[in-house]
Chain A
């Protein structure tokens, strides 16, 4: 009996290892996203945008031949130590180009694996400058943290009238610490006083940090961190009666955070890539797509609110298709060579790349959480010129 069991297990393992065969008229686009872990909620929404785009345009024409586009999704679990194995999985799947990932820290960790394999990657919402710096293969379609940090500092100073700020991020997370750094530089240039603190990974008790903010006399709390921490910070800020505004970067633009904010007295702002209402046609289609599929709806957090990351995922997919068309082949090396000159006008605006591989983007949107209706209200659009 034991022998049979052991043999059965061995067979299962062999089956799991077997590399699936691909049809010849297929082009593989890898999706490198966190579907679990601290950023799981955001990664799922970004993937939904990509999947919707794929459902809408499932084929691409190269040299007069129509190829099916197949998405291969690899879960990097929001973790820098799982990034490499997820990246390897996409390389093994024969990806022509990879989209992702949500979370700059994981993007940086997985970058070399794609670089060594010669596969180009289009970063969807990873905003840290280091993602594209010093390499040829990483591109991105979103704005960068130095810009976002500056926008945040200006907003806190000009609109909220704050002179003292308290920053809270995760220890050792490139995204969080990078943003705190840029925010601090910009805020100090404006004559603000900044206190920055970090919490260890897996922390769930933020009461002491919030007390620190209160004791420091902060007039604004800037908290660049993952969604799951955001949710806890909001809950505890509400129960501690924090009455200063909380501002946050693009990660907080999520209905998970919104749910936590709803019904509280908090004043929460975030910067983001897309303001709802920007493209009604897209929104209608996407909502229909979400509501037609219960798994998709669950992955979007249980309702059909549109996250900016989904919009970015949607645009990233079309940018990838443009690149494949421009390259005239599905060979990763050709796609990489074609990418710097690709331009595309997406739902989130015009996309073009500079010499580093970053999108030439000049605007960010600031939204405020409406604690009564549970939606994000548009506050202001900030451009580079305003930020400087």
Chain B
């Protein structure tokens, strides 16, 4: 912690990566040229997280200035790929992202034991970043959660209400038929068409904020609605007529019969259908591309009207990224997404197994 280089009141102004690079080169006895090309080349092997951690350390305890301290921070993605054998010396030196000299430095670091490998927990605690080693899924997880919240709040009451009406109240007639045909067709409309609807209706017409969980949630709610209606109707159908007749015979009105007896008995089926459709909404990507949820959003969203990412669109963004290291991150993000999906689907299946009643 060179006192000449670190401003006690403004530690984040110090280029700690360069500082470390120069010290390492000095330790190895390498003499740098006037432009500092060697130090710059060395510096790119260290991630900017080093700077944040060092500045943080100084801010918390300014007395470390002048001392030698040990800081652990991720290496840059290129260094990481070299250690993992994804970048090798066999490749054309002009095309590869790590030069021969950088490789020697990296080998040197490895030999003297200053490089350790470990689990990069930044994946779970950070938002998206342009640097693969610092990019995390938390922002997208929060964005997806906010979006699902909007979807659930809109789609579940509307869907269950519509199903109850169609199954228990509606008289057979032209309007009911029209609604039925409509719902069956809506269930099979391609998801990207819902994206076009969201773009035209919610963004261009209603001027709701682009890339926000609010718009995403609204679009997914419209998409999930037919599925919830169909699932709820089939579980209402499964409740035997004798239950209804008994309630009506005791003097209950139709509304009381439905809300006190039929709907509670159909609840396990309704929950199963709802969870499955929510899981489906969580994994849906195509409509999100059209309403702007593929833009780069670094932070963690705090409200449903702020720009946010979503887990599946993060997978898409990272898969498209040019840095090779993002492909590994994509696989990690997919695992996170799949864990959510499998937990939700398994919960639905268990719920059905546990509570399903055959009459």
* A and B pair up: no
